[in-house]
Amino acid sequence: MTSSDRNDSRGPTLDSPPNSAPEKPLVLFTVRMIYMVLMITASILPFAGVAGENPLQMPLLDSLAPFLTTIAVATVIVLLDLRTPRKQLSVVVAMYLAILAGLLAAIAIAALIDLIANVWQLPESSISLKYLTLLKLATGITLCYLAVSIVLTTRDDIRLVIPYVEFSKQTRGIRPMLLDTSILIDGRFNAFCKSGFLDAPVVVPRFVIEELHRLADSSDRIKRERGRRGLDNLQRLQEAREISMTIEEADSPEGMVDQELIAFAQKEQLRLVSTDSNLVRVAEIRKVPTLNLHDLASVMQGQVAPGDTMTLEILRAGETKGQGISYLPDGTMVVVEDGGSFIGQTLEVTVSNMLQTSAGRMVFAKAQPPSSET
C-alpha cells in the first residue's frame, strides 16, 4: 500500500476542506426545491379535477386554504432543516422509530374508539362522532410526541430494555485517543507511536488543526514556530504505518478550545491525551479519561539516586559560573558543578541532588576531576 492509499483510507487530510464534498450544498438545495415542488403539486392535484368540472361553483377559499396551508407546512419543515445543518444519525433514527411506535399505538386506540362508537350505534350526523374523530387525532399526535420525548431522553439506556438496540454511541474495547494541540506541538507522542507500543486509534478534531493553523500564521515568532512544528508532527502521524489516525469533522468552538475538547471527548467516549496540566485537571473533574504525556515520560525516565556515578559529555556552560550542562539519554538535564571548564569533554560525575519541576526532572551532579596517569 502506498502512502497516498494509506491517507485515502484514513479519511480527511490536512489539506482537505471541512466539508466532505464541495457539491453537498448544491445537492441539498436541489433536494429542498424538489420537495417544495412536490408539496405544491400535492396541494393542487386533489382539487384540479373538481375545479375542472365546475370551476365557477367551487369557492376560492376551499382551494386556496389547503394550498396555503401546505406551502406553510413545507416552508416550516425546510426552515427547521436549515436550522439543524449537522444532524446526528442516532437522533434521527430514534425519532423515526419513536414516531412509528406512536402511530401504531394511535391506530390501536383509534380502532378501540371506533369499536366503542359502533357499540353505541351513533348516527353519522351525530356531533359525538366529530368529537371522537378529534379525540383520535389528538391521541395520535400526543402519543407520537410522548414517544419521541421518551426515546430522546432515555436513548442512552434503551439497550437495557431492548437488547441489541442502542441509539447512543457505545465504545467497546480500547478507547481511541483524542490529541490536543499541546501533544502535537510536543512531538514526543510521534516517537511513542513509532515504537510500536501504541495499539489504540488516534483521533484529531478539525478544530485542533485550525488552532494549529492560527498559531502558524501568528505574528509572534514563538507561536508561529510552535504552530508549524505541530502541523509537521501531525503530517508525520498521518504518514506513520504504526498507528491508525483519523481527522474528525467537528464544529469549530465558539469559546475555549479546551472546553470543546472535553465536550468532544465526552460525546465520542475518547481518552484525552495532553501535556497541559490544567486541561488534564479540568477533564478529570468532568470524569473524562485522561493521559498526561509528562506522567509517561516520568515513568520511563532512568532512575538515578544521589551518590550514583555516571559518565557524561559536558555540552555547554551553565547559567552560574563554573557550571556545565549535560543531558541523560532520556533528555533529563544534568547541571554539573565545576563542569564549566570541561565543555566538549567526557568525564565522570556524581549525582548530588534531584529536583522535580512542572517542566520535568532536573539532576544536579558534581564533576570528578579526570584521573592523571603517571
Decide if 116 is inside a domain: yes
Q: Can you tell me the mean pLDDT for 61-66?
A: 64
Nine-digit cell at 104? 401504531
Which pLDDT band holds residue 360 (cuts at 50, 70, 90)?
A: low
Residues 339 and 255 in one domain: no
Mean pLDDT of the residues in the chain: 77
Residues 215 and 264 in one domain: yes
Residues 221 and 122 in one domain: no
State how far the Cα of 29 lies from the Cα of 71, in Å rounded to an integer. 17
pLDDT of residue 11: 44
Q: What is the CB neighbour count within 10 angstroms for residue 168?
A: 15
CATH code: domain of residue 357:
2.40.50.140
pLDDT of residue 260: 85
Domain boundary among 248, 264, 299: 299
Whether residue 88 is predicted with pLDDT greater than 80 in this model: the reply is no
Lowest mean pLDDT among 160-169, 201-210, 232-241, 363-372: 160-169
- The partner residues of 313 in beta bridges, in order of sequence, read 346
- Cα torsion through 169, 170, 171, 173, rounded to 10: -160
Decide if 277 is inside a domain: yes
Decide if 167 is inside a domain: no
Residues 283 and 243 in one domain: yes
pLDDT of residue 335: 92
pLDDT (tens digit per residue) in 291-333? 888 777 766 666 677 888 888 888 888 888 888 999 887 667 8
Instruction: Give all strands of the β-sheet with 271-274 in edge-to-edge order.
Output: 245-248, 202-205, 177-179, 271-274, 290-292
State how far the Cα of 90 lies from the Cα of 159, in Å rounded to an integer. 13
Residues 207 and 317 in one domain: no
Which pLDDT band holds residue 167 (cuts at 50, 70, 90)?
A: very low
Residues 223 and 342 in one domain: no
Domain extent at residue 235: 177-299
CATH code: domain of residue 184:
3.40.50.1010
pLDDT of residue 119: 79
Which pLDDT band holds residue 231 (cuts at 50, 70, 90)?
A: very high
pLDDT of residue 42: 76
pLDDT (tens digit per residue) in 48-61? 655 555 554 555 55
Contact between residue 30 and residue 42 where contact means Cβ atoms under 8 Å apart: no
Q: Strand 177-179 relative to strand 202-205: parallel, antiparallel, unpaired?
A: parallel
Alpha helix (H) residue ranges in 54-126: 60-83, 89-120
Instruction: Compute the C-alpha angle 108/111/115, nearest 5°.
Output: 140
State how far the Cα of 363 lies from the Cα of 304, in Å rounded to an integer. 9
Residues 90 and 133 in one domain: yes
Q: Can you tell me the mean pLDDT for 22-44?
A: 77
Residues 226 and 347 in one domain: no
Residues 238 and 144 in one domain: no
Q: Strand 346-357 relative to strand 309-313: parallel, antiparallel, unpaired?
A: antiparallel
Q: Can you tell me the mean pLDDT for 38-57?
A: 64
Q: Can you tell me the mean pLDDT for 339-349?
A: 87
pLDDT of residue 364: 92
| Distance (Å) of CA 189 to CA 186, 234, 237, 350 | 7, 10, 9, 32
Closest to 250 measured CA to CA, from 275, 267, 238, 236: 267
Residues 183 and 256 in one domain: yes
pLDDT (tens digit per residue) in 264-293? 888 888 899 988 888 889 988 988 888 888
Decide if 15 is inside a domain: no
Residues 30 and 103 in one domain: yes
Residues 289 and 347 in one domain: no
pLDDT of residue 170: 54
pLDDT of residue 161: 46
Residue 247 host element (H or E) = strand 245-248
Alpha helix (H) residue ranges in 155-269: 158-161, 181-186, 188-194, 206-216, 221-239, 257-268
Which pLDDT band holds residue 7 (cuts at 50, 70, 90)?
A: very low
Which pLDDT band holds residue 20 (cuts at 50, 70, 90)?
A: very low
Closest to 246 measured CA to CA, from 255, 257, 237, 258: 237
Lowest mean pLDDT among 82-86, 223-227, 353-357: 82-86
Please give the tally of structural domains in the chain. Answer: 3
Residue 274 host element (H or E) = strand 271-274
Whether residue 206 is predicted with pLDDT greater than 80 in this model: the reply is yes
Give residue for cell 517542566. Answer: 359
Domain boundary among 265, 299, 333: 299
Decide if 10 is inside a domain: no
Lowest mean pLDDT among 9-18, 248-257, 304-313, 327-336: 9-18
Contact between residue 270 and residue 264 where contact means Cβ atoms under 8 Å apart: yes
